[in-house]
Amino acid sequence: MSEALGNFEGLLREALAPVEPPADLPLRLQQTLQSLTEIAAEELQDWELSAMRDPRNWARPAAALVVGSTAGVALVLLRARHRPNPPSGPAAVRNVAGRTLRDLGGEARKLLGDR
Q: Which residues of 56-78 are buried (b: 16+ CB within 10 A; e: fewer)?
A: eeeeebeebeeebeebbebbbee
Residue-level pLDDT at 104 = 73
Residue ranges per structural domain of the chain: 25-113
Give pLDDT < 70 ranges for the chain: 1-6, 81-89, 111-115
Residue-level pLDDT at 48 = 75
Per residue in 73-97, pLDDT tens? 888 777 776 666 555 667 777 777 7
User: Alpha-carbon distance 49 to 19, whole Å?
Assistant: 49
DSSP 8-class letter at 1: -
User: Alpha-carbon distance 75 to 29, whole Å?
Assistant: 9
Of the candidates 36, 57, 59, the one whose C-alpha atom is nearest the C-alpha of residue 111 is 36
Residue type, 50: S
Residue-level pLDDT at 99 = 77
Residue-level pLDDT at 2 = 58
DSSP 8-class letter at 51: G
Q: What is the sign of the dihedral through the CA atoms of 21, 24, 25 and 26?
A: positive
Q: What is the pTM of this model?
A: 0.58
User: Alpha-carbon distance 90 to 73, whole Å?
Assistant: 28
